[in-house]
Chain A
């Protein structure tokens, strides 16, 4: 969140609005906004409607929280880029600036090299998930 705050001016200049979203209620989100001086909207999804609709509900933690994820959406609400940050790699918000500029300019964005590799597909994610839940099995 602080990283997005720090890159906010650049993202705005490139043509983006930024919004954050978690399952926290309004009071907690207000506290985060105030403590971190977040300049963009923090959205509150305590009923888990949006995290469910976007496929990022992590049921295994604290009654269901959001997996860290970033989505870039254009004015027609079309998804232009997405990355789920579950496998130890995180998007550098500064790297999003160029992508935002492309989308704002109507150019097909090139995938960010690093996040493109950290979106490994459902099979791989399931394997990681299962190994966390049940432990790693040695192949026989």
Chain B
């Protein structure tokens, strides 16, 4: 069910390392290192 496993507010989000649209591997810790990351999940290409 949606959201059941989702990290709760106040919990640490799981680290990941996956490619961006240019094939460069990006880590959550790197993306968030500036202080705040807005991470938007979307359904994908229409």
Contacts and interface: CB of A to CB of B under 8 A. Distances in A.
Verify that A and B bind, or say they do not: yes
Interface string B16-45: 101111110010110111111111111111
Interface residues of B, number: 40
Given A78-B12, A104-B36, A19 B31 contact: yes
Interface residues of A, number: 68
Contact of B37 (A14, A19, A30, A126): A19
A20 B43 CA distance: 10
Given A30-B22, A50-B18, A78-B13, A1 B37 contact: no
A21 interface: yes
Interface of B: 1-16, 18-23, 26, 28-29, 31-45
